[in-house]
Amino acid sequence: MGDGEADRREAAAQDRSARIEALNRRYRIPLRRFFGSRTRRPDDIEDLVQEVFVRLIARGGLEDVRAEENYLFMTAANVWRDSGRKDMSRQRSRHATLADHHHPVDTLSPEVVAVGREDLRRVLVAIQELPLRTQAIFALQRYEELSYSEIARRQGISVSAVEKHMMKAIAHLTRQAFR
């Protein structure tokens, strides 16, 4: 292949690129309107327009196309149809959009972790300071999630006694662990 052939190929590639760029300038806004009237997701419009031009570039050239505008919008219709198929196969309509409020604001910095560990240590110490029966009742209610009546049955005491033990445990934990 001689230098003349390489120059002709380079010139042809530049010509195709210039034609695509001219189509982009002329039809980008009409294509945005085309997709904007069809999609419920405005964020997708620019991607769809871009896909039209990607397909035109992949085609290699439009020299044999007589009606560029018609071809361009047929390509856009195919992009729209293919996009719909992809969305259906991926069940995109069932996806949830995550917003800032879905993400936790707090980060687990070393300081936050240290404070949490200290809080946990104080709670455990405060629980160990309780009488054994009160500890057991507190654990059955908070950790085993048993009702007061179930705890009363297991412990052989009245529901009122369970309530008193729970009030005692909560008051002690509040005083000791959360001062």
Q: Please report the pLDDT score of residue 24 as a whole number.
A: 86
pLDDT tens by residue, 2-22: 678 888 888 877 887 788 888
Tell me the helices (H) and strands (E) count for the chain, helix number first: 7, 0
Q: Please report the pLDDT score of residue 29 as a whole number.
A: 93
169, 134 in Cβ contact below 8 A? yes
Q: Please report the pLDDT score of residue 160 as a whole number.
A: 93
Pairwise CA distance, residues 157 & 152, whole Å: 5
pLDDT tens by residue, 144-160: 888 999 999 999 999 99
Kindly give, in sequence order, each residue whose CB lies less than 8 Å from that of residue 79, ignoring residues fewer than 6 positions away.
48, 51, 52, 55
pLDDT tens by residue, 156-168: 999 999 999 999 9
Pairwise CA distance, residues 49 & 26, whole Å: 13
Q: Please report the pLDDT score of residue 100 as a whole number.
A: 65
Question: What is the average pLDDT score of the chain?
Answer: 84
Q: Please report the pLDDT score of residue 131 as a whole number.
A: 94
In this model, does residue 48 exceed pLDDT 60? yes
Amino acid at 37: S
In this model, does residue 97 exceed pLDDT 90? no
Tokens at residue 63, please? 């020299």
